[in-house]
Structure 1
Amino acid sequence: MPPAETTATTTASTATDVDDITLEAVSVRYGSAKAPVTAVDAVSLTVGAGEFVVLVGPSGCGKTTLLRLIAGFETPARGSVGVRRSVGVVFQQPRLFPWRTVGGNIAYALARHGVPRRQRADRTQQLLERVGLAGMAGRRTWELSGGQQQRVAIARALATEPHVLLMDEPFAALDALTRERLQEEVRSLADTTGTTVLFVTHSAEEAVLLGSRVLVMAAEPGRIVSEVPIGLARGAGAAAVADLRSTAEFSSLRGELASVMRGAATA
């Protein structure tokens, strides 16, 4: 359903030289003009180039709405959205094409991105290696586990070489072990490539593990009520990410963020 008002602007390049994402006093309203429902109200935020920022908050607070605005899937009722560079999106469900092979799903994205046919096989293999699925280009998507399907979805998003990656609870439906492995791989991948990431989750642990800072939202209407910096020393690689879980600093920050999230849920 379209927003109740259309007084906003969405621009392709309003961010500064160091910010990939800028939202300025953004509001989204659904429903009729006579009885609008405010999904998010006067939200402002910036995400700098190479940052890994996490959005947390209760269901219905507008986390996914903000990602949809940044991706260009929705238009705000008020305020402006600026995205300086190209964007890729990973959803909670993989949303793969079941009639295509694993490689075919990625090749489709490469074709849409303008990659010549002769280069697609090599690029597909490189992307599958990057997400730990080397040699699986010929497999059918329905033959893969949930975690493997999500890796294909990440590879497909990376096929367009986005500078900004939006991730909407991509691991929520996975078992705990697969979730942990993909958390480590995504954070390591972001560190390696310098990709800017805006990541949505309900989990304080996931937010602290992945984020360089965490923005906490409250509902009715959706708004940002707190920011928690994550000053953890991070080593390189997935193993280093995994090691963070056992540190006292990680446990302390997780507890702090969980407390802030509980407060936001009742705000």
Structure 2
Amino acid sequence: MPRTEPAFGTAAPDAGAYAGAGASDGDLAVDLSGVSVRYGPAKQPVTVLDAVDLRVRAGEFVVLVGPSGCGKTTLLRVIAGFARPASGSALVRGSAPRPGRGAGVVFQQPRLFPWRTVGGNLGFALARHGVPRSRRPARIAELLDRVGLPGMAGRRTWELSGGQQQRVALARALAAEPELLLMDEPFAALDALTRERLQEEVRSLAGRLGTTVLFVTHSVEEAVLLGSRVLVMAAGPGRVVADLPVPLPRDPATDVAGLRASPEFARLRGRLARALRPD
């Protein structure tokens, strides 16, 4: 079982409080029980995830951190329905996950269609989810406003900066208004300034929409800034070894620059960095 750390300045919580153990089934966006994933030949399989339990309440922003090869991306793939567990069960809103249903996915690379305009990329996603053609232009404009790209529907994707392309990818993931958003190191390839801006936008957007988010990163600072919980994973095989609550303000109007500079932020960042060190 992962250890649950107390929030700084508070008494230690119930061990199940942040793992979702007390949540009713109706409150759960994600429910993994004993999930193991193995790759390779049947005689000598490699265990990537080993008996992972995870319960995520609706509206939580959960960040996964850990060394390369610990199974963070594989865990997202299971939740998205791209990979099936060798054992255990995975449920998203009470049902087995299916690709393209119930979850929006944002990858490290935008993976946009270069032959389509920005609006064309978003229109393709809307068409897949059954949005009538007559409603698509207004919906595209709304999505671009949400991610800070108003009036960009007619632009070609190759004309955009890396940060702008990633915003389009985020808008595409939001096209179906998913209750669950899965993000796999979406800002890793961006410059520091663009990364900070998108971190703030995603944090604010998730707060405004009440979206449940699972976010993979290698950055301790990014994890503390974005997550309402941070799960620390270890490799050999992949498993969750710590569950850290992040009791920082979640209001969309929060002064993020001030938050980054606060003593509380520094203490949490230090605690997470220590949790990531091998015993």
TM-score, structure 2 length as denominator? 0.87
Q: What code does the residue aligned with 2:84 have? A: T
Aligned to 1:253: 268
Give, in angstroms, the shift of residue 235 of structure 1: 3.5
DSSP 3-state at the match of 1:58: coil
Give, in angstroms, the shift of residue 236 of structure 1: 2.5
- Alignment of 1:103 with 2:119, yes or no, is yes
Match of 1:196 among 212, 217, 223: 212
Q: What code does the residue aligned with 2:271 have? A: E
- Alignment of 1:67 with 2:76, yes or no, is yes
Give, in angstroms, the shift of residue 240 of structure 1: 2.2
Aligned to 1:216: 232
CA contact (8 A) 1:25 1:79 kept: yes
- Alignment of 1:89 with 2:89, yes or no, is no
CA contact (8 A) 1:184 1:242 kept: no
CA contact (8 A) 2:63 2:216 kept: yes
User: Aligned partners of 1:242, 1:129: CA distance in 2, in Å?
Assistant: 23
Give, in angstroms, the shift of residue 40 of structure 1: 0.6
- Alignment of 1:160 with 2:179, yes or no, is no
Q: What code does the residue aligned with 1:21 have? A: V
DSSP 3-state at the match of 1:114: coil
Q: How does 1:168-187 map to 2 (within 5 A)?
A: 168-187=184-203
Match of 1:27 among 11, 14, 36: 36
Match of 1:244 among 256, 259, 271: 259
Q: What code does the residue aligned with 1:37 have? A: V
User: Aligned partners of 1:233, 1:184: CA distance in 2, in Å?
Assistant: 13
User: Aligned partners of 1:219, 1:197: CA distance in 2, in Å?
Assistant: 23
Give, in angstroms, the shift of residue 208 of structure 1: 0.3
Give, in angstroms, the shift of residue 242 of structure 1: 3.1
- Alignment of 1:55 with 2:64, yes or no, is yes
User: Aligned partners of 1:251, 1:185: CA distance in 2, in Å?
Assistant: 21
User: Aligned partners of 2:45, 2:166: CA distance in 1, in Å?
Assistant: 36
Q: How does 1:38-49 map to 2 (within 5 A)?
A: 38-49=47-58
Number of equivalences? 249
User: Aligned partners of 2:251, 2:177: CA distance in 1, in Å?
Assistant: 24
CA contact (8 A) 1:187 1:241 kept: no
DSSP 3-state at the match of 2:215: strand
Give unpaired runs (5+ residues) of structure 1: 1-14
User: Aligned partners of 2:138, 2:251: CA distance in 1, in Å?
Assistant: 30
Match of 2:277 among 232, 239, 262: 262
Percent of aligned pairs sharing the same letter: 71
User: Aligned partners of 2:231, 2:203: CA distance in 1, in Å?
Assistant: 17
DSSP 3-state at the match of 1:17: helix
DSSP 3-state at the match of 2:25: coil
User: Aligned partners of 1:163, 1:188: CA distance in 2, in Å?
Assistant: 16
Give, in angstroms, the shift of residue 230 of structure 1: 0.4
User: Aligned partners of 1:206, 1:139: CA distance in 2, in Å?
Assistant: 30
User: Aligned partners of 1:224, 1:138: CA distance in 2, in Å?
Assistant: 44
User: Aligned partners of 1:84, 1:58: CA distance in 2, in Å?
Assistant: 29
Could you give the per-residue CA deviations for residues 234-255 of structure 1, whole angstroms, max 9, x where no partner exists? 3323x62333101110011001
Aligned to 2:6: none
DSSP 3-state at the match of 1:35: coil
User: Aligned partners of 1:198, 1:157: CA distance in 2, in Å?
Assistant: 13
Give unpaired runs (5+ residues) of structure 2: 1-23, 95-101
Give, in angstroms, the shift of residue 63 of structure 1: 0.2
Q: How does 1:221-240 map to 2 (within 5 A)?
A: 221-237=237-253, 240=255
Q: What code does the residue aligned with 2:213 have? A: V
Q: What code does the residue aligned with 1:224 have? A: V
User: Aligned partners of 2:277, 2:197: CA distance in 1, in Å?
Assistant: 27
User: Aligned partners of 1:258, 1:128: CA distance in 2, in Å?
Assistant: 36
Give, in angstroms, the shift of residue 94 of structure 1: 0.3
Give, in angstroms, the shift of residue 232 of structure 1: 1.1
